[in-house]
Amino acid sequence: MKKQAPSTQLKKNSVSLFGALALSAAFMGPAVSIFFNMVPAASSAGKAFPLSFVISMIAILFISNSVIQFSKKVNGASFAFSFTSKGVGPKTGFMAGWILLFAYAMISPITYAGFGVMLSEFLSRQFGVHISWAVFFVIIGLIISGLSYFGVNHSTNTTLIFLVLELIVILLLCASVIFTGNNSVEPFIVSNASNGFSSIGLGMVFGILSFTGFEAAANLGEETMNANKTIPRAITISVIMIGLLYVLGAYVADIGFNNDAEALANNASPFDTIARNVWGNNFAWLISLTALNSVFANAVAGQTSIVRNIFSLGRAGILPRFVGHTNHNGVPVNAIVFDFVLSMILGGAVGIWLGGWGVWNLLGGMMSIGLIIVYSMVTISLPIFYKREYPSEFSKTKHLLFPIIGIALLALPLYTSIYPAPAFPYNLAPYVIITWVIIGAFYLNRIKKKRADIIEKFGSSFDEDRPA
């Protein structure tokens, strides 16, 4: 009896608009970004740092335009690989997918370690219970991998629930501050920045980095209902929704410290301080739980994205073929196991070296640089793709001007991420990425010599799965 070939198809029509929206929104980690990114933004831009978040949201809308425009025509389980393959060509698509694999590989160990450290510190602070972050690192990895095993709809539904919970707490805190605080327009006036518009630009670095992961829904192209319409809507709504939340959070942080940016910049937990001022000590613990909630949702969304990237590259023959297989329910089980093992190795190794926060900071820096490079590659591919494949729909505004503006805006966070160079070992990020790119170039050359036919098929599998 002939052995049945393993399936390489993900389960179609299993993700709704709300599921795709939740994935992109949660991947940005709104509560975590608000709690952690306001301090360095205030340090960079002074009391006008909320203006940095306003401009950052506008910038991300330009950058996300490229992903949105591609999503209207191309579906895939790895947005960078599929979009760039269709745009510039299969070899460039390989490199975009290769770099995205690197960036996304950081997500699970980052979020698992972040959750582990935060929960360990919370239990120690609130109850005097001391458990190593490493224990929770493994437990959360098993929970999220197990959740993913039951199907993408379980992951997206869980993400939606946890996202709503964190948004409720953030909005309640913001409302409490606004209704009792000293409201002012000063946070949005350029002259109040520490060094004028240049410092607003430095604050934008943390604003733009807060949006990394907005593209998560684009990785669900093969599993989303009416993907060509649903995914663009999900990305657009998530960027605007979370962007407005960031602006609100920045404003509340500013007025919560009476427009004293120096005091805010010198406070390690500004929203804990704000919560204690407006809610009292008995309810301030909600901020810690909201941060944990946010990291958990971020972990689910991130793991869903990296698993689909691993699956996509396995199906294309770039990674071992077995990770490109699915079970009878269309779940990429092998890719889930692959990601779990990889996250345990990466997170465990860096954790032994630098501790839990070291995993968060070092791998987080690498992920951010990698994603900025990938966004740039996708953005450059957009005008080429539309001019060649859809000349009658080519728009000089959406398909040329917006990508140019997007590329220009990406240059700032990329530059400031590597210069001035951070202290060791955080200065290693660009060198590690360059090494990864070189390895990828050698690997691609090997594929060309041994399996030349496979290169021309990069990205073609997405057409087979594209909904009618």
Rounded distance, CA 95 to CA 101, Å? 10
| Of the listed ranges 31-45, 359-373, 416-430, the one predicted with least confidence | 416-430
Residue type, position 108, single letter: S
pLDDT digits (tens, 9 = 90+) for 133-191: 999 999 999 999 999 999 888 899 999 999 999 999 999 999 999 998 788 888 899 88
- Mean pLDDT calculated for residue range 361-377: 91
Residue 462, pLDDT score: 42
pLDDT band per the 50, 70, 90 thresholds, residue 359: very high
Q: What pLDDT shows up at residue 386?
A: 96
Question: Mean pLDDT over residues 454-465, rounded?
Answer: 52
The per-residue pLDDT for 464 is 39
pTM of the shown model: 0.90
pLDDT band at 467 (very low <50, low <70, confident <90, very high): very low
Between helices 227-256 and 270-279, what is the axis angle to 10°?
Answer: 70
- Counting Cβ atoms within 10 Å, is residue 426 exposed (0-12), middle (13-18) or buried (19+)? middle
- Residue 429 makes CB contacts below 8 A (sequence gap 6+) with 362, 365, 366, 369, 417, 418
Average pLDDT for 314-339: 91
Per-residue pLDDT at 283: 81
Return mean pLDDT, the chain.
89
In the predicted model, is pLDDT for residue 334 greater than 60? yes
* Per-residue pLDDT band at 74 (split at 50, 70, 90): confident
- C-alpha to C-alpha distance for 124 and 136, rounded to whole angstroms: 13
The per-residue pLDDT for 399 is 96
CA-CA distances (angstroms) from residue 46 to 182, 251, 253, 265?
Answer: 18, 12, 12, 9
User: For tokens 């663009």, what's the residue?
Assistant: 232
Q: Which residues contact 222 (CB under 8 A, 6 or more apart)?
A: 9, 10, 12, 75, 76, 77, 462, 465
pLDDT in tens, 92-125: 988 998 999 999 999 999 999 999 999 999 999 8
Higher pLDDT, 95 or 316: 95
- Residue 163 has what pLDDT? 93
pLDDT for the residue numbered 180: 84
Buried/exposed code over 260-277 (b: 16+ C-beta within 10 A; e: otherwise): ebeebbebebbbbbbbbe
Residue 139: Cβ within 10 Å count: 14
Higher pLDDT pick, 104 / 453: 104
Would you say residue 202 has pLDDT above 90?
no
C-beta of residue 23 within 8 angstroms of C-beta of residue 217: yes
What is the Cα–Cα distance from 143 to 297, expressed in whole angstroms? 12
Residue 230 has pLDDT above 90, yes or no: yes
Question: Quick one: which of 133, 95, 186 has its CA closest to 370?
Answer: 95
Say if residues 49 and 422 touch (Cβ distance below 8 Å): no
**Percent of the chain residues past pLDDT 70, beyond the cut:** 95
pLDDT band at 17 (very low <50, low <70, confident <90, very high): very high
Residue 465: predicted pLDDT: 41
pLDDT confidence bin for 318, thresholds 50/70/90: confident
